[in-house]
Amino acid sequence: MLSGKTALVTGSTSGIGLGIALALAREGATLVLNGFGDPEPAKAEVAALGGKVGFHGADMSKPEQIADLMAYAEREFGGVDILVNNAGIQHVANIEDFPPEKWDSIIAINLSSAFHTTRLAVPGMRRKNWGRILNIASAHGLVASAQKVAYVAAKHGIVGLTKTVALETATTGVTCNAICPGWVLTPLVQKQIDDRAAREGLAVEKARAELLGEKQPSGEFVTPEQLGGLAVFLCSPAADQVRGVAWNMDGGWVAQ
Ligand code: NAD
C-alpha cells in the first residue's frame, strides 16, 4: 500500500518508533530512521523486510540538525511523504524539584522538534498533494499525571499542534493526526518501573503490575506492533478524512 512513499520516523532506534517503522516498511514504504544508540540493529530489521532504509542521527533538540535531517531525506529519497514525530524523553519529579534544563529538553524534543520537522515537510507534501503526519503524543496528551509537568505540557502541546496543522491542510491530501498510547513496555517505561522497584523496595514484576494497575484498566501493555497497525490505518485511503484527531490506544486509560 505504501510503496513509492518515504517515511521518516524520529526516534526509531528502539521502542514505539521502531515498531511503527517496521509496520510501514511491511507496507512497502522506504524508511528514514533516526535516534540515538547503535542504529545498525534497527536498520537491519527494517532492511530484512525488503525495502530501502536510510539513517540520520540528528539530535531532535537541535533545530539546525533537524534541518540537516530533512535535507538528507530530500536529497537521498526525494522528500518525506509520511512524517512520524515520535522521539521523546521523560523525567519524573514534583514541579518544585523539576530541573529547568530537563523542562527545556523535554519541550525541545517532545514538542518543538515536531514543529520543525512539520514546517519543513509540509511544502513538499502540498506539492505532491499527499502526505501523512503522525504525532506520537500520549494518554498524557489528554489527561495529566502528577510529577510529569514537562511531559504532560509537551504532549498536550503536540495535540494542539496536530489540530492546527490539520486545519491548515484540511483542503489538501495532507492529513495530520496524533496517536495517544497508554503504557507501552519500552526502555522509557522500563526505567520508570526500575525506579519504582528501587524506591519502594519491590520486585520488578510487582512494580510493573502496580504501574499498570494505577492507570490502565486492561492491565496489559499496548504493543509497538498494535501502534504500528494504527499508523498503517492512518496512512491508508480509508483515513483520508481522519483529520486532527488525538486517537488514544491505551487499554482504557482515558475512559475513566
Ligand atoms: P524509547 O526510549 O524506547 O525511544 C525513544 C527514541 O527516541 C529512541 O530511539 C531514542 O534514541 C530517541 N531519542 C531520544 N532523544 C532523542 C533526541 N534528542 N534526538 C533524537 N532521538 C532521540 O521510548 P518510547 O517509549 O518508544 O517512546 C517513543 C514515543 O512514544 C515518545 O514520544 C514517548 O513520549 C511516546 N509514548 C511512550 C509511551 C510508553 O508507554 N512507552 C506512552 C505514550 C507515549
Give the model's pLDDT for residue 248: 98
SS3 12: coil
Report the predicted TM-score, pTM, of the whole model to 2 decimal places.
Answer: 0.98
pLDDT in tens, 121-173: 999 999 999 999 999 999 999 999 999 999 999 999 999 999 999 999 999 99
Measured from CB, residues less than 6 Å from any atom of ligand 1 are 11-17, 34-37, 59-61, 86-89, 109-110, 136, 138, 181, 183-184, 186-189
Number of residues that this document lists for the chain: 256
Give the model's pLDDT for residue 203: 97
Give the model's pLDDT for residue 191: 93
Active site residues: 151
Residue among 145, 162, 186 whose CB has most ligand 1 atoms within 8 A, to mutate:
186
**Residue 212 to residue 144: CA distance in whole angstroms:** 16
Rounded alpha-carbon distances, angstroms, from residue 201 to 178, 191, 193, 205: 37, 15, 12, 12
Rounded alpha-carbon distances, angstroms, from residue 122 to 14, 71, 83, 162: 26, 13, 10, 13
Alpha helices for the chain (secondary structure H):
15-26, 40-47, 63-77, 100-107, 113-128, 149-168, 187-200, 204-215, 224-235
Rounded mean pLDDT, 177-191: 96
Q: How far is the CA of 171 from the centre of ligand 1 (A)?
A: 31
Report residue 99's pLDDT band, with 50, 70 and 90 as the boundaries.
Answer: very high
Ligand 1 nearest atom to the CA of residue 184, by list position: 40
Q: Please give the mean pLDDT across all residues of the chain.
A: 98
pLDDT in tens, 18-69: 999 999 999 999 999 999 999 999 999 999 999 999 999 999 999 999 999 9
- Structural contact between residues 117 and 85, judged by C-beta atoms closer than 8 angstroms: yes
**Residue 238 to residue 17: CA distance in whole angstroms:** 23
H or E element at residue 53:
strand 53-55
- Structural contact between residues 21 and 33, judged by C-beta atoms closer than 8 angstroms: yes
Q: What is the DSSP letter of 143?
A: S
Ligand 1 nearest atom to the CA of residue 108, by list position: 18
Which of 8, 182, 181 has the alpha carbon at shortest distance from 81? 8
**R_g (Cα) of the chain, nearest Å:** 18
